Amino acid sequence: MKKPLTLKIQLLVTLLPIFFIFTLIVSIVSYSLFYTNTRSYTNNQIEQSSYQCLNNYETFFNSVIDTSNSIERKVSNMDLINHQDEITTYLDDLLSLQSELSNAAIYSLEGEVIASNLNYESVTNATTTDWFINANNNRLLNFFSSIDYLDGLYGFTLSKYVTYNTEQEGGILKLDFDFTNVINLISETDLGNGGHITIYDNNYNVVYCSGIFNQKETELVQDVVLGSKIVRLDNVEYNMYISTLSNTRWKVAIFTNYESISSTLSNFLIILIILTIVIIVVEGGILYFVSTGITNPIRLLKREMSNVESLKFNPNDLLLIKGNKEVIELSKSFNQMMKRIDELAKKNIEEEEEKRKSELKALQNQINPHFLYNTLDSIVYLIEKKDNEKAEEMIIALSKFFRISISKGRTIIPLEKEIEHVKYYLLIQKIRFGKSFSYNIDIKIDISKYYTIKLILQPLVENAIIHGLKELEGNGKINIEVDKEDDLIKISISDNGFGILPSKLNEIYENMKDKTKNSSVGLKNVYQRLKIYYGEKADLKIISDLDIGTTIIIYIPISEALKNEEK
Amino acid sequence: MKKNKLKLFLLLPLLLLTSCKQENNNISLFLYAADDEFINELTLAINQSFAGDYDLEIFSANRRQSIQNRQISSVIDSNLSNLMIVNIVDRLSSKSIIEKAATTNTPIIFINREPLLEDMLTYDKVYYVGTNPTYEGELQATIADNLFGGYQNFINSKYDKNKDGKLQVVQIKGEQGHQDTESRSYYSLNKLNNLGYQVDLLSSVFCDWTINSAYNEFRNIYNDFLDENFNSEIELLLCNNDEMAVGCINYLLTLDSYNEELSITDQYFPIIGVDASNNGLEAIRNGYLYGSVINDSEMQAEAIYKISDALLNNKDINNLDLTFEDGKFIRTNGKIVTQSTLIE
């Protein structure tokens, strides 16, 4: 099964691609819009300026054709031979009206000048010239010579077959034009770096080029023929616009530098890419913070909860998680729940304590009342025997014994008192039983600061007297020793009786540890009280060697023994 | 299922694209101007013959070759057209247009304005459909000859107003450089000469096919040729088309001497046009225009349709019942129209 993702990762994984794609789409769309718009705008502009350029040429060539046409109209109904003055004046007028027109003449089909402006130098052997032959061959067309460049001036010749004298005779009209001003004017059009205009004739021979002519462009012009296209010449992009020049058989190719648009586009692209990356990074950052803001309180809450799991929990340390409303409420509810749990636990502990105390009391109260009866019987016996000294001694011992037993109802008494308590007991028992046993108390450490629960030694000593020494007439020995072992106080009570069989010993242990069995053997009573009061660290051990004796050892933690208060 | 949907979704734009893709039936018609009477009649006739079978898109160049160049290059560059019919503005530009069409192997039919033969021979899918201006000019002469009843009967007749035995003619010409202008003008006079007339060309003037231009130019000419009694010296007015003839008629109608009772032929001089356009036919019915030559737009449209159909469907052009001159040119022959032929 797939490992479940954290909320934060899930938020990031889901939202980040959406943001990313969205940003990307916005970027792509805006670039393509910008690209199309810029291109179409620039193309439009270039087309407009190219068109303007072409217009200027056409306006000029139309005026040239108009001049030719008006001369043709003028002479078609005119007897040139008999009206020399009139035609000369007319041509001179035309020359002064149209600054570009430098010469105008009409040649007969034999090559003689029939009419011309005043200062005209006639061409010899006119019939052999290109302009004459071409105009004569196709009598409907205006023939344009290629553009000459001479002494800084551009010039060309137009020739046309015309009829005169009411169409009865024919001749060749020859008009020389000075093209320089027009070319200079058009050259002012800004075509960008390297931009230029080339004029081709019918067979793609270059008639004129305003810039540096590149051999490759002829191929490009032949490919495209008409219209516009983006082309590359010497690694520079140009918009090439080709059109025909009306009334001529020429073609104009206008090359406008197109690099600026490429750099504009690439600049925009770079800015857009940077911007896109920045936006995506910012989006990612914002998304990270937002998702952290959402998930962090949840994460903290989770940590709080796991503190509880690992039992490091303290209800006073509970944090109120800051975050969004849901998390705050969740945190509050959790805290409340934890407090409630804590209260319940405390209550439970208190109840347990109460129960323990009552158990302790009950156990303490199980001290054998027979001892009192027996002792009193012994005192009566001593009195009857008029052994008043011993009787008195016994009564005093009994009185002190009970004083310590009761200890004003306290459970905890100084260890010294407990030891004293046992001494009185032993004294009483010794008087009762006579010289049947001896005892020795050996305190190896300073016990003045230690406390203990009361009545833990007396039952054990009683055991030792009853079970260990009963049969030993006069040789019984009880040895009580108080010592330290690590952080425990070790109190051992030894007898020199027969000892206990190992099987019996196990039975005793089992019996001792079993709470449920309600047998009021002293050993068990002491063991249970040690455990209830001191917990696991306190212990009771029985060491027994057959025919040598039995030692019972009580262990009390020193840390607990220093406390003089009831739990 | 989901995958299929996705596929369909992806295919949808493709389907749209393919449905948009034109079939083999887009024809572009480029006109030199939208206000030429005869061109409009011809356009109408072309439209009718192509209707239903082909999509015809019409462009008008407003008498500017540069505009027409742009229209043609944009159509060719975007591959929008399967065939172009071009009424070129400047016949000198035909070479470039033929070359442009050749870049995409698009067939091209020139109409009305004749490209140069040398240009036509550079491309195999180019044809020309137009009138036969030579024959039209000759028919103009024939109309006049029929009216006069031959040169011998003309001499000293009421048509030979100054009784000099010569025919005083004024020519109203179309556009300078247009092949129809030159041929109609030249061959009408040529035919009259051949029929034995002694022709005295008083004046000839270019009026660019239009009514207004003819009206203005003719006013000058009319006033240049008045005798001592302020009668017109003109004995025959030949116009390259009916529109210009109507322009001249309009001027005559403004004269004080104009008498509604008499036809213009009887009152002033016979006027003969070409085209038999709607305006021209109207003028013939009214007795203003003596005669005209049918420049049969329907016949031309039919020829254009036949050639287009053959070119677009890879039929052999030589199997058509059309006669090509130089393998490229269809020139339809005109017919005489006068009041009497109209009655018939």
User: If interface means Cβ-Cβ distance under 8 Å, which residues of chain B face chain A?
Assistant: 64-66, 69-70, 72-74, 76-77, 89-90, 92-93, 95-97, 99-100, 103, 116, 176-177, 179, 182, 189, 200-206
Phi, psi angle pair for B10, to nearest 5°: -70, -30
Instruction: Count CB atoms within 10 A of the CB of residue B114.
Output: 23
CA angle B273, A166, B290 (to 5 degrees): 20
Mean of per-residue pLDDT scores for chain B: 88
- Please answer yes or no on whether A140 and B177 come within 8 Å at the CB atom: yes
Given pLDDT bands bounded at 50, 70 and 90, which one contains residue B21? very low
Tell me the domain boundaries of chain A.
77-181, 366-561
Q: A73 and chain B: CB distance < 8 Å anywhere?
A: yes
| Confidence at residue A519, expressed as pLDDT on a 0 to 100 scale | 55
- Please answer yes or no on whether B66 and A227 come within 8 Å at the CB atom: no
| Confidence at residue B12, expressed as pLDDT on a 0 to 100 scale | 52
Of A139, A243, A248, the CB nearest to B66: A243
The CA–CA distances, whole Å, from A21 to A8, A24, A27, A249 equal 20, 5, 10, 56
- Please answer yes or no on whether B202 and A166 come within 8 Å at the CB atom: yes
The CA–CA distances, whole Å, from A135 to A159, A185, A491 equal 6, 29, 149
Cβ B274 vs Cβ B306: under 8 Å: no
Q: A51 and chain B: CB distance < 8 Å anywhere?
A: yes
| Confidence at residue A367, expressed as pLDDT on a 0 to 100 scale | 61
pTM of the full structure:
0.64
DSSP one-letter string for A124-153: TTGGGSHHHHHHHHSTTSEEEPPPEEETTE
Asked if ipTM goes beyond 0.85, one says no
Q: A225 and chain B: CB distance < 8 Å anywhere?
A: yes
The two tokens of residue B331 are 């020139």
Task: Please list every residue in chain A whose beta carbon sits closer than 8 Å to the beta carbon of residue B206.
Answer: 69, 73
**Are both A77-181 and A366-561 of the same fold?**
no
- For B176-235, write each residue's pLDDT tens digit: 878 889 899 999 999 999 999 999 888 888 898 999 999 999 999 999 999 888 899 999
Q: Which residues in chain A show pLDDT less than 50?
A: none
| Confidence at residue B321, expressed as pLDDT on a 0 to 100 scale | 85
Given pLDDT bands bounded at 50, 70 and 90, which one contains residue B19? very low
Cβ A244 vs Cβ B88: under 8 Å: no
**Is the pLDDT score of B98 beyond 80?**
yes
| Confidence at residue B20, expressed as pLDDT on a 0 to 100 scale | 42
Find the residue in A nearest to B119 (Cα).
A202
The set of residues, in sequence order, having a beta carbon less than 8 Å from that of B165 and lying 6+ positions away, is B155, B156, B198
| Confidence at residue A490, expressed as pLDDT on a 0 to 100 scale | 92
- Please answer yes or no on whether A167 and B204 come within 8 Å at the CB atom: yes
| Top-tier CATH class for A77-181 | alpha beta
Q: b/e map of B197-236 (b: 16 or more CB within 10 Å)?
A: bebbbbbbbbbbbbbebbbebbbebbeeeeeeeeebbbbb
Instruction: Count CB atoms within 10 A of the CB of residue A249.
Output: 23
Q: A8 and chain B: CB distance < 8 Å anywhere?
A: no
For residue A160, the cross-strand partners are A142, A173
Of A138, A140, A226, the CB nearest to B96: A226
**Strand ranges inside chain B, DSSP E:** 26-31, 55-60, 83-86, 108-111, 126-131, 167-173, 199-206, 236-239, 271-272, 291-293, 329-332, 336-338
Q: Report strand pairing: A251-257 vs A236-244.
A: antiparallel
Task: Please list every residue in chain B whose beta carbon sits closer than 8 Å to the beta carbon of residue A140.
Answer: 177, 179, 182
Q: Rounded distance, CA A507 to CA B232, Å?
A: 167
Q: Rounded distance, CA B321 to CA B319, Å?
A: 6
Q: For CA atoms B294, B297, B298, B301, give the dihedral sign.
A: positive
The CATH number for A366-561, chosen from 3.10.110.10, 3.30.210.10, 3.60.20.10, 3.30.565.10, is 3.30.565.10
Q: Rounded distance, CA A160 to CA A176, Å?
A: 12
Of B92, B179, B206, the CB nearest to A73: B206
> In three state form, how does the secondary structure of A30-71 look?
HHHHHHHHHHHHHHHHHHHHHHHHHHHHHHHHHHHHHHHHHH
Q: Rounded distance, CA A130 to CA A190, Å?
A: 35
- Please answer yes or no on whether B70 and A140 come within 8 Å at the CB atom: no
Q: What percent of chain B clears pLDDT 90, i.e. is strictly above it? A: 56
Cβ B301 vs Cβ B49: under 8 Å: yes
- Please answer yes or no on whether A73 and B205 come within 8 Å at the CB atom: yes
